[in-house]
Homo-oligomer: A and B are copies of this chain.
Amino acid sequence: MRSEAAFEAWRRRTIVPVSAAALLFLAAYAWPILDPALDRHWEDLCALVLWGSWALFACDYLTRFWLAPRRVAFVRRHLFDLAIVAVPFLRPLVLLQLASVLNIMNRRVSISMRGNVARYAAAASLLVVFCAALAVLDAERGAPEATITTFTDALWWSATTVTTVGYGDMYPVTAMGRLVAIGLFIAGIALLGVVTGTLASWFVERIDASQETAAATQAQVDALTIEVRALRAELRGDVPGTEPERSPPM
């Protein structure tokens, strides 16, 4: 039962339902925040969907834990997943579930090429900006001195923050809003790092490639040199009696 094959099979088979649950989760999280005058009935439904998707994530985690060939390694490699499942289900902390969505994107895309890294970073940035706007709006809306009161404002604040521009025309004033902001700061630094790192590695690669070519040429010259030397040695060695012009080897 605890085999690599069973683990992989489960992972592959659950990609679609878990992705769907993550999308439902996002929708159910966003709706009551975007429409504060939402009917009580619908609000309850959203809460239900949140609980349901959480339960699904938890089941998925526990099954994967059960099937994992090396459980300690599994836990260490999937700390985000653990946080999603273990965190008490308070309203604003639900945002941590966002990690599961990113995780699922991660699962679907193999990050082995630079193009994929860039595309993943762009998609993750958009998702993070959108969710941070939701969370900060949820946290700030009720505060007396809040500057972020509409979703448009929240999106604008989120964009100015993740790029580390920080005009200061809007900023969170509640503790929860500030926690969201700090998460966004970290995402912003990571974003900068990914953009710069990708470009830097691209430049380095281009230069390395041209150096590789040069090195290859040099190697061929070396090979030729060796050949010529061998030929000379042969010529010298073949006629042992005469001993002609034994010029010193280079």
Question: Which residues of A does B touch, CB under 8 Å?
Answer: 112, 114, 117, 152, 156, 159-161, 163-169, 171, 175, 178, 181-182, 185-186, 188-208, 211-212, 215-216, 218-219, 222-223, 225-227, 229-234, 236-240, 243-244, 246-250
Contact = CB atoms under 8 A, between A and B. Distances in A.
A189 B189 contact: no
11 contacts: A163-B188, A164-B164, A164-B166, A169-B171, A189-B191, A192-B195, A196-B200, A197-B201, A197-B203, A208-B208, A240-B244
Given A167-B167, A175-B152, A160 B189 contact: no
A199 B200 CA distance: 8
B198 A201 contact: no
A69 B191 CA distance: 37
Contacts of A240: 238-239, 243-244
Best-buried of A117, A168, A248 by chain B (most CB within 10 Å) = A248
Contacts of A181: 159-160
Given A192-B192, A201-B206, 13 more contacts: A114-B203, A159-B178, A160-B181, A164-B164, A167-B167, A189-B195, A193-B195, A193-B198, A197-B199, A200-B204, A201-B207, A236-B246, A237-B238
